[in-house]
Amino acid sequence: MILVIDVGNTNMTMGVFSGEELEATFRMMTKTPRTSDEYGVMLIQLLKNKGIEAEQIEGCIIASVVPDVMHSLTGAIVRYLDTQPLIVGPGVKTGIKIVTENPRAIGADRIVDAVAAYEKYGGPVLVLDFGTATTYDLVLENGEFAAGITAPGIRISSEALWKQTAKLPNIEIRKPKSILAQETISSMQAGLIYGQIGQTEYIIRKVKEESGIENLKVVATGGLGRIIADETDTIDIYDSSLTLEGLRIIYEKNRSVAK
């Protein structure tokens, strides 16, 4: 079994694969400071809760956009799981060629999503990830990572509303019954959800227009992506485990050097 970890700005999403089968998933908050021992104990307990013993983990791969947690997290994996994690970054085989102006500036999570979408669904493909930020990444038919768009995520926009205004509350992010809202909470929900749908449809349309690629597959992932994908026909596929699958695929491509 291999442990795959996606360290995002808000949460760490983890999965355990046995071959190509995703056997278990779990999450923990990223922003809570933890020592390597705290990470180790939590990892062992989370695995046990899924019926998995630490000794069954043969390897680990991590994609992270939060450098501050990596020392403690990798230390925990080495000490408690007795394996050296493979870190997605320069020098790691992905099967994707990044042809943007500054390839090293592309986040590891975006590369992982691109790998998964290209390997699973082929190219050309536009990969949407509705996370802390909402990202749109274009992978061409030949596997080139050609362009990316970054926008504030739904949760960031929601937090901006209630933190920067005196009377607007913190709300649950969900689609309201109607866009014709008649009170504060549903009006905020309408603006956030329908605003995101509008942004999504416009960006997809502009990417197709400027790239000249009409047969572009559109694949979405991310915690809030299901809400948006269900409301627009511009998204072809919603794949909740896309990032975890991408980590597994990259691990397999680097198995000879992974421990």
Which residue type, as a one-letter code, is found at position 228?
I
Q: How far apart are CA 235 and CA 228, in angstroms?
A: 9
Note whether 66 and 52 are within 8 A (CB). Answer: no
Active site residue 109: yes
CA–CA dist 222, 169 (Å, integer): 24
Question: Mutual orientation of helices 184-211 and 154-163 as an angle, nearest 10°?
Answer: 140
Structure tokens that stand for 122 in this block: 């082929």
- Give the amino acid at 258: A
Which residues, in sequence order, are bridge partners of residue 87? 62
Q: Which of 6, 37, 68, 109 is catalytic?
A: 109
CB atoms near residue 182 (< 10 Å): 8
Closest by alpha carbon to 226, among 238, 214, 236?
238
Residue with tokens 């511009």: 234
Please identify which residue in the block is written with the tokens 């400027």. 210
Whole-number Å distance between alpha carbons of 229 and 236: 8
What's the rounded Cα separation, in Å, for the pair 233 and 235?
A: 5
Active site residues: 109
